[in-house]
């Protein structure tokens, strides 16, 4: 692991990074099939520890255990977060359209 542990939450971060050998664990959730690496991203640069489900609210994310966290590279994480934002916008637009009929 070349990344340095954060000041806060270092033990949790170290446990998650160690479990995953500091590599991104995205298994094509981001839309990239990761064909070159057997279906799992595996990048070790620009990685962060974050919830497996990136859609959880921040207030929930900070309470998650080691088993609910994983390693994401910036590319995979950005792609998944963008897809989540898009889905939320579309859901909100559908709710707004349904409400505007009455």
Task: Give the domain extent around 81.
Answer: 10-99
- In the chain, how many domains are there? 1
Q: Is residue 70 part of a domain?
A: yes
The model's pLDDT over 7-40, given as tens digits with 9 standing for 90+, comes to 778 999 999 999 999 999 999 999 999 999 999 9
- The answer to whether position 61 is within a domain reads yes
Q: What is the pLDDT of residue 15?
A: 95
Tokens 């349904």 appear where?
A: 98
User: Is 69 a residue whose pLDDT tops 90?
Assistant: yes
Closest CA to 44 of 69, 76, 82, 7: 76
What does the alpha-carbon distance between residue 48 and residue 17 come to, in Å, rounded to a whole number?
A: 9
Whether residue 68 is contained in a domain is answered as yes
Highest mean pLDDT out of 2-16, 69-83, 84-98: 69-83
**What DSSP state is assigned to residue 87?**
H
* Rounded-to-integer distance, Cα 48 and Cα 90, Å: 28
Rounded CA-CA distance 29/55 in Å is: 13
Question: Does residue 2 belong to any structural domain of this protein?
Answer: no
**Any domain includes 1:** no
60 domain-assigned: yes
4 assigned to some structural domain: no
Burial class (CB in 10 A: 0-12, 13-18, 19+), 95: exposed
């Amino acid at each position: 692991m070349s990344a340095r542990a954060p000041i806060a939450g270092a033990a949790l971060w170290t446990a998650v990074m160690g479990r995953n050998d500091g590599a991104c664990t995205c298994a094509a959730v981001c839309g990239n099939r990761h064909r070159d690496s057997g279906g799992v991203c595996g990048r070790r640069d620009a990685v962060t520890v974050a919830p497996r489900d990136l859609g959880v609210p921040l207030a929930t994310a900070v309470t998650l255990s080691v088993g609910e966290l994983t390693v994401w590279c910036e590319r995979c994480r950005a792609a998944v977060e963008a897809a989540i934002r898009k889905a939320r916008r579309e859901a909100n637009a559908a709710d707004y359209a349904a409400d505007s009929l009455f």
